[in-house]
């Protein structure tokens, strides 16, 4: 054993409170059947993980698409476009994600015409769709800001040269500005994607039983609080590591040789 733990005095001090720890450990709980009939508790957690990943990916697609559009809007010469972009970002940035999810899930069905509202409420997987849209739009504001920063960090000469070559604004963005922008902002976008994955956990409040939700459900059915949350923690860490490694490969694959894209 390592030196510190071999010191009996120190060990005694570390374990001194062992007496009253009123918690009943059971690490084998993962292999016990879960009450919802779908298998073991481990299966429960894994199905939550799958749901987390699905939600995160779908939300991220929405975030990327809308966020890039809004980010581009903010850099356009047109004043209206700029203002629209600004309003979009401010709107989705200044409200907590939880509040936004509540508005989509609880408020929207009540303020639209009755039959639509009922359809929205009775929709199977309503929490999933709501979470995807809610989280997607929330993250779109951040993607927009990153896109804007990326475009603005390009040398002014790029845009000027494109205009000199006779490209329209749309063509300038499509062939000159955006390809480089996305390469530059890939590192911050990676961390935004990781944020998206973490934000899916907020959706347990509207009934989306993703990984954190399944861990909580496991805790409620089996009473093994720490085992359940430890498993969830490990799974989130694994997802993180996988995403970071994957993005690093992607970055390397897409890098333009010779261009210093700030790391």
Give me the residues that bind other proteins (CB under 8 A), please: 7-9, 11-13, 15-17, 19-24, 35-38, 90-91, 93-100, 102-103, 106-107, 110-111, 118, 121-122, 124, 194, 197-202, 204-205, 207, 209, 212, 215-217, 219-221, 223, 225-226, 229, 232-233, 236-237, 240
- Asked whether the beta carbons of 220 and 230 are under 8 A apart, the reply is no
Place of tokens 């993180």: 240
The smaller minimum CB distance to other proteins, of residues 78 and 230, is found at 230
Cα gap 117→96, rounded to integer Å? 24
- Asked whether the beta carbons of 68 and 80 are under 8 A apart, the reply is no
- Asked whether the beta carbons of 145 and 89 are under 8 A apart, the reply is yes
C-alpha 181: how far from chain center: 21
CB of residue 226 vs other proteins: minimum separation in angstroms? Answer: 8
Q: Where are the alpha helices (DSSP H) in 200-262?
A: 211-222, 225-254
Query: What is the torsional sign of CA 86, 92, 96, 100?
Result: positive
CB atoms within 10 A of CB 204: 20
CB of residue 237 vs other proteins: minimum separation in angstroms? Answer: 5
CB of residue 132 vs other proteins: minimum separation in angstroms? Answer: 17
The smaller minimum CB distance to other proteins, of residues 23 and 31, is found at 23
Beta bridge partners of 33: 40
The smaller minimum CB distance to other proteins, of residues 72 and 206, is found at 206
CB of residue 7 vs other proteins: minimum separation in angstroms? Answer: 7
The smaller minimum CB distance to other proteins, of residues 74 and 159, is found at 74
- Asked whether the beta carbons of 31 and 42 are under 8 A apart, the reply is yes
The smaller minimum CB distance to other proteins, of residues 187 and 207, is found at 207
CB of residue 233 vs other proteins: minimum separation in angstroms? Answer: 6
CB of residue 73 vs other proteins: minimum separation in angstroms? Answer: 19
The smaller minimum CB distance to other proteins, of residues 148 and 159, is found at 148
Cα angle, residue 195 at apex, residues 193 and 199 outer, rounded to 5° = 120
């Amino acid at each position: 054993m390592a030196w510190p733990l071999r010191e009996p005095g120190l060990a005694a001090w570390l374990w001194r409170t062992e007496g009253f720890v009123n918690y009943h450990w059971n690490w084998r709980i993962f292999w016990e059947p879960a009450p919802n009939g779908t298998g073991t508790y481990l299966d429960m957690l894994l199905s939550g993980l799958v749901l987390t990943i699905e939600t995160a990916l779908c939300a991220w697609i929405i975030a990327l698409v809308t966020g890039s559009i809004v980010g581009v809007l903010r850099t356009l010469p047109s004043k209206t476009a700029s203002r629209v972009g600004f309003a979009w970002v401010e709107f989705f940035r200044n409200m907590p994600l939880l509040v936004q999810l509540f508005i989509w899930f609880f408020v929207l069905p009540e303020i639209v015409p009755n039959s639509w509202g009922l359809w929205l409420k009775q929709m199977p997987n309503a929490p999933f769709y709501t979470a995807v849209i809610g989280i997607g739009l929330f993250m779109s504001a951040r993607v927009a800001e990153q896109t804007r920063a990326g475009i603005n960090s390009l040398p002014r000469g790029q845009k000027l040269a494109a205009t000199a070559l006779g490209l329209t604004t749309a063509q300038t963005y499509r062939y000159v500005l955006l390809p480089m922008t996305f390469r530059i902002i890939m590192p911050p976008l990676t961390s935004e994607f990781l944020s998206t994955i973490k934000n899916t956990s907020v959706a347990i409040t509207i009934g989306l039983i993703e990984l954190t939700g399944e861990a909580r459900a496991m805790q409620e059915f089996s009473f093994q609080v720490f085992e359940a949350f430890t498993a969830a923690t490990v799974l989130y860490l694994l997802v993180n590591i996988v995403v970071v490694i994957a993005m690093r490969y992607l970055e390397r694959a897409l890098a333009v040789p010779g261009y210093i894209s700030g790391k």
